[in-house]
Structure 1
Amino acid sequence: MAVMLLTEMTPPPGADSVALLRARAGAARRAACACLMAVLALLPAAGLLADRAGTAQQALPPAVLSLAVFLGGLPALAVTQAVWGARAELLRRRERELYGVARSARLWPLTRPAVALGWAVTLLLGCTVPGLFRAAGRDALAGTLNWVIETTATALAAAGAVAGVWLLFSWAKEAAGMRTRAGRPGGSPGDPWDPGPGARPHGTAALWACAAAADVGLVAARAHLWEPSTGLVCALLAAALACAVVTDE
């Protein structure tokens, strides 16, 4: 009865717009995380399959796949994460305007180092692509890719340093702001217009954890920290991609 009375009440001012912004930010977050999970699964898996190929001809398809994923994954990561950041910032600004506190910013400082780590691993895996083509007998293409990497290494290092400084600054600023607002009263309205974590599907966190575990396993195998069988590599790849697709829906 209490739930029925709440749903029949008029939502407080701004609740509808905040709900829409939260839905858009959540969709952008899922898309960005799914893209990152897919890239971090495909790159090491393709490298492992290329390394285990019996002949140079068999090593060529995984090498081509690795190059395609790397070249296509970088802009995809940049676009999806930029959209996610823009929508999350718009949501936080609106929440502060209406409620004096941004509920959606609680985990925001933790996501930035995680995303930065994902970018670093992606770039490191991309640097191994020339070696895959050399093993496939395509020395000319491997030399060209090496030259491109060496030419852009300085620019990437400078850009990475600037991004790292900005990341640490924004992370510290946001964390300090959260501590300042920790004891401040107020906040966004409760159900039914502002469902909390309890309204989310319970299986979503498990799917994200499964995808992350599969990615970590594949990256660790690519770094020769363990030696899974080829069948297990394919199983980890399929699990990571399946979980990323399901959680993005």
Structure 2
Amino acid sequence: MTVMLLTEMAPPPGAQEVAGLRARARTARRGALVALSASIALLTTVQVLADRASTREQTLPLAVLSLAVFAAALPALAITQYVWGVRARRVRRRERELYADARSGASRPLTRLAFACCWAVTLLLGWTVPRFFRQAAHYAFADVLSRAAEALSLISVAAGVLFLLWWARDAVGTVARALRSGGSPGDPWDPGRGARPREGAVLWTGAAMAVAALLGARAHLWEPAVGVVYALLTVALVCGVVTDE
């Protein structure tokens, strides 16, 4: 009965705006997840195939493709995650204006740490690109890439240290806010997490498992056939693209 009365009542001022902001933030989050899973899956697949190339002629195009994927992945990850962060901050700011509190962000530190780990995996994969050019007998270009990878590694380590310091401060603040307040009163006019289809979570789980399997193949933890590698890549891409949250 309470639910029926709530749905029949007119939403309070700003509720529809907040619902729209939340929808945009969810769309941005989906874009960031798609870019992340696709980047790692593509980069890992190309490098697995390059590792298995038997001749220099077969290795060279895969080495070039690996470099191209890595070069495209870095700005794609940065842009999509920046857009997600901007839209998420807009939601929290508007929630505080309307409800004097924002939705509980208890999972936000874990999400940020998970994305940071994925960034580290992507960078580690990118730092192995010079080796493929060396296997293709392009030694001069491999040396140039090695020097660039060394510079990028120093920048990445510095950025990682700064991130950990910021993340620890933010995590402590999130826990303190959660203990101090009872959380957001919620919004009955926003469908919320429970009303969204569960198929999305299943598909994201499938994409994550496919990416993890490809990473295991790249680390030589197992040796799948080439057809299995392509199948895992297809699962990772399809599950991410067709997911509609």
- The range that moved more, 92-101 or 78-87, is 92-101
The one-letter amino acid of 1:129's match is V
The one-letter amino acid of 1:179's match is L
Residues 211, 241 of structure 1: 8 Å contact kept = yes
Aligned to 1:227: 223
- The range that moved more, 163-172 or 64-73, is 163-172
> How far did residue 107 of structure 1 move?
2.3
Identity of aligned residues (%): 55
Aligned to 1:213: 209
1:20 aligns with 2:20: yes
1:88-237 → structure 2 map (5 Å cutoff): 88-103=88-103, 105-181=105-181, 183=182, 187-190=185-188, 193-237=189-233
> How far did residue 236 of structure 1 move?
0.7
Gaps of at least 5 residues in structure 2 are none
- 2:243 aligned residue (236, 244, 247): 247
How far apart, in 1, do the equivalents of 2:244 and 2:121 lie? 22
How far apart, in 2, do the equivalents of 1:3 and 1:188 lie? 13
> How far did residue 195 of structure 1 move?
0.9
3-state secondary structure, aligned to 1:242: helix
State the 4+ residue runs in structure 1 displaced beyond 4 angstroms: 1-8
> How far did residue 247 of structure 1 move?
2.1
Residues 43, 69 of structure 1: 8 Å contact kept = yes
Residues 50, 62 of structure 1: 8 Å contact kept = yes
Gaps of at least 5 residues in structure 1 are none
The one-letter amino acid of 1:102's match is A
How far apart, in 1, do the equivalents of 2:2 and 2:96 lie? 28
Residues 47, 62 of structure 1: 8 Å contact kept = yes
3-state secondary structure, aligned to 2:41: helix
Aligned length: 245
How far apart, in 2, do the equivalents of 1:106 and 1:22 lie? 17
1:80 aligns with 2:80: yes
> How far did residue 4 of structure 1 move?
7.0
Residues 31, 248 of structure 1: 8 Å contact kept = no
Normalised to the residue count of structure 1, the TM-score between the two structures is: 0.91
Normalised to the residue count of structure 2, the TM-score between the two structures is: 0.92
How far apart, in 2, do the equivalents of 1:47 and 1:168 lie? 34
The one-letter amino acid of 2:140's match is A
3-state secondary structure, aligned to 1:97: helix
CA RMSD of aligned residues (A): 2.0
How far apart, in 2, do the equivalents of 1:87 and 1:205 lie? 21
- The range that moved more, 216-225 or 100-109, is 100-109
Per-residue deviation, residues 190-238 of structure 1 (Å, max 9, x unmatched): 1xx2112221011000011011111111112111122211111111111
3-state secondary structure, aligned to 2:114: helix
How far apart, in 1, do the equivalents of 2:48 and 2:78 lie? 25
